[in-house]
Amino acid sequence: MVDTTVSTTSEKARSLNLLKVLGPAHIWALGVGIVLVGEFMGWNYAVGKGGAFGALIACFVSGILYTCVAKIDSEVTSTVASAGGQYAQAKHTIGPLMAFNVGLFMTLTYLMLNAGDVLVAGQLVQIGAQQLGHDIPWQPFTVLFLALLTLLNYRGVLATLTVNFVITAAAFLSIIILFIGVKPWAPGEVLLHHDLLTALPYGWIGVIAALHFGMWFYLGIEGTCQAAEEVRSPGRALPLGTMSGIITLLIAAAITWYVACGLMPWEYIGWDLTLAPLYDSARMTGSPILIVILFIGTLLSAIASSNGCTNDQARAWFAMGRDRYLPEWFAGVHPKYRTPFRSILFLTPIVLIFALYIPLAQIITFSILSGLLNYTFMPINMWNFRRKWPLGIIRRGFSHPFHPFPALTLLILCAATFFAVYLGYGRQLLAMIAFYIVASLWFAFYRYRYVKRGAQFTMPWPKPAGY
Amino acid sequence: MWEILGTAAWVVSAAIFLWMIWDFFNVNTKYGEDVLVSSREGLDELLPAGDQSSAKKKK
């Protein structure tokens, strides 16, 4: 026992690991920070597909989908507390090929979302300048935001997510201020739901189609798992941060729908191509203070999302490199800042190319599809986890109630959302699946020979039930 | 004034990226590859110390 302890201590001393410095507030900031931009823009296309009530139903259904995601993630990640989040879970519960695909799903989800965020942030600066009477290009500001956030991530996770906490809280506060500003206690004075709300314009098929964009209200909350290896107390911080994050988003989503659909007709909200329906809602009130606050809130939400995505994309890539699913070079840890500095720097130029040269709609569709594939993996992950290691066999930080109903609900809602995506973006969906099949073939027939096969299973659990 | 902001954004971005590239090469030359990629998957504080040791041993 003494020898083992000495060996463990000396091994720790020799190895450079990611710092365990994060708490529940940082986890909340990571999850909500990535997602909150979806309240400020993007969700409104659900209104275009299904009308105002169709978008509300999509908001509720997607809310259930993501609540299941948050519950499942809270249980598995608080037990498999490793960088890479769902990638590390897939490695233990299913196998290497699934893990490789999940790692790719997550990297591409965050990378594409990141590109969309910095693109939007740059364009918001341009819009702000235009409203002051000056026409300037957006590209230098997109590059500047990306450079600043990459630097922040490069120099340490604690500062990165502390900054994210502040700007995410400020963006959320701007939604609350708008809600109070439209006087919800006096219907008919500012909010005109009675006049503006109509029946479902495209029937129930429109509601199903709206599910595609209903995801925007919550897309990315699963990103909390990526910080699992860097939290001080995974068993407490991850469930607390993730569950409080989804509660925050459910509140923000309900307020967003209520305010926007009470101020503007659904035909306008659904085809608002000027980026930001919440900002437009503030403009409808005519209050200069609300307009400024919502402009700042929109900009901060885009920056917070990009910051969180820069963090998460690098962790997923780093974790795959550490197990040699990708070249081990990517698993480098900075000796001073203790960040996955090679993965952070490697992915930044790719984000920049997508932000500068690929249309926003294409980038976001790619991100949504990768995210949806990841959510479809989660029910299988949960079933395997509970079947192979039932409650009481290993210690869990959190056990979610009513299993297997959340997993079953998640699977059904994912299938419905796939159908919704197919209605609008069938070709992109098929192209994406083809891409992952080709990547899987590359992994199975070439890359797998380099994988650290035994060493990749790091959890000291008993043999799975039935083995 | 507004045109200068655009130019300033390019200059600051270039400076930030150059610093990171400099630091990146500096670290890669100063430290050995075995040190830089020595990270091991995180150990859970939920696990008893004995179990964590056995996890290390498996490597």
Structure tokens at A245: 């994050």
As a whole number, mean pLDDT of residues A27-33 equals 97
Chain A: nearest CA to B24, how far in angstroms?
8
Residue A323 DSSP code? T
As a whole number, mean pLDDT of residues A13-35 equals 91
Whether the pLDDT of residue B52 is over 50: the answer is: no
Q: What is the pLDDT of residue A75?
A: 93
Confidence at A270, pLDDT banded by 50, 70, 90: confident
Closest by Cβ to B46, choosing from A20, A334, A397: A397
The set of residues, in sequence order, having a beta carbon less than 8 Å from that of A246 and lying 6+ positions away, is: A31, A66, A67, A70, A218, A221
Between A440 and A394, name the one with better pLDDT. A440
| Chain B residues in contact with A17 (beta carbon < 8 A) | 39-40, 42
Domain A20-392+402-450: homologous superfamily in CATH:
Amino acid/polyamine transporter I (1.20.1740.10)
- Is residue A401 helix, strand or coil? coil
Q: What is the pLDDT of residue A7?
A: 39
Touching B: A residues 271-330, CB under 8 Å: 319, 322, 328-329
Q: What is the pLDDT of residue A272?
A: 62
As a whole number, mean pLDDT of residues A210-225 equals 93
Interface test mutation site (partner B, options A2, A3, A16, max chain B beta carbons within 10 A)? A16
C-alpha to C-alpha distance for A321 and B37, rounded to whole angstroms = 9
Count Cα atoms within 13 angstroms, Cβ side, for A35.
Answer: 31
Whole-prediction pTM:
0.92
Confidence at A222, pLDDT banded by 50, 70, 90: very high
What is the enclosing helix (H) or strand (E) of A163?
Answer: helix A157-181
CB A33 within 8 A of CB A305: yes
Over the stretch A302-351, which tens digit does the pLDDT of each residue have? 999 999 999 999 999 999 999 999 999 999 999 999 999 999 999 999 99
CB A269 within 8 A of CB A198: no
Over the stretch A300-311, which tens digit does the pLDDT of each residue have? 999 999 999 999
Find the range with the poorest average confidence among A71-75, A353-357, B31-35, B40-44. B40-44
CB B42 within 8 A of CB A19: no
Confidence at B50, pLDDT banded by 50, 70, 90: very low
Over the stretch A50-73, which tens digit does the pLDDT of each residue have? 999 999 999 999 999 999 999 999
Confidence at A458, pLDDT banded by 50, 70, 90: confident
As a whole number, mean pLDDT of residues A236-255 equals 96
C-alpha to C-alpha distance for A359 and A343, rounded to whole angstroms = 25
Q: What is the pLDDT of residue A457?
A: 81
Confidence at B34, pLDDT banded by 50, 70, 90: very high
C-alpha to C-alpha distance for A288 and A76, rounded to whole angstroms = 46
CB A260 within 8 A of CB A281: yes
Dihedral angle at the C-alpha atoms of A125, A117, A35, A415, nearest 10 degrees? 140
The set of residues, in sequence order, having a beta carbon less than 8 Å from that of A248 and lying 6+ positions away, is: A28, A32, A172
What rounded mean pLDDT belongs to chain A?
92
Structure tokens at A206: 């429109």
Closest by Cβ to B37, choosing from A144, A235, A331: A331
Q: What is the pLDDT of residue A359?
A: 84
Over the stretch A150-164, which tens digit does the pLDDT of each residue have? 999 999 999 999 999
A459 inside 8 A of chain B by CB: yes
What rounded mean pLDDT belongs to chain B?
79
Confidence at A15, pLDDT banded by 50, 70, 90: confident
Chain A: nearest CA to B9, how far in angstroms?
6
Phi, psi of A272 (to 5 degrees): -75, 100
Q: What is the pLDDT of residue A36?
A: 96
ipTM: 0.89
Q: Hey, where are the domains in chain A?
A: 20-392+402-450
Chain A: nearest CA to B50, how far in angstroms?
8
Nearest to A238 by CA among A92, A374, A71, A381: A71
Interface test mutation site (partner A, options B33, B39, B56, B59, max chain A beta carbons within 10 A)? B39
C-alpha to C-alpha distance for A413 and A376, rounded to whole angstroms = 9
B59 inside 8 A of chain A by CB: yes
C-alpha to C-alpha distance for A125 and A121, rounded to whole angstroms = 7
Q: What is the pLDDT of residue A225?
A: 93
| Chain B residues in contact with A131 (beta carbon < 8 A) | none
Phi, psi of A94 (to 5 degrees): -120, -65
Count Cα atoms within 13 angstroms, Cβ side, for A400.
Answer: 27
Whether the pLDDT of residue A442 is over 60: the answer is: yes
Nearest to A81 by CA among B36, B39, B48, B46: B46
C-alpha to C-alpha distance for A398 and A78, rounded to whole angstroms = 7
B31 inside 8 A of chain A by CB: yes
- Which residue matches tokens 């130029």? A349
| Residue A445 exposed, middle or buried by CB count within 10 Å (0-12, 13-18, 19+) | exposed
Closest by Cβ to A134, choosing from B2, B46, B54: B2
The winner for highest mean pLDDT among A82-86, A249-253, A372-376 is A249-253
Interface test mutation site (partner A, options B5, B11, B13, max chain A beta carbons within 10 A)? B13
Touching B: A residues 395-434, CB under 8 Å: 395-397
Give the ranges where B1-59 is alpha helix by DSSP (H): 2-30, 33-36, 49-58
Q: What is the pLDDT of residue A6?
A: 37
Whether the pLDDT of residue A298 is over 80: the answer is: yes
B32 inside 8 A of chain A by CB: no
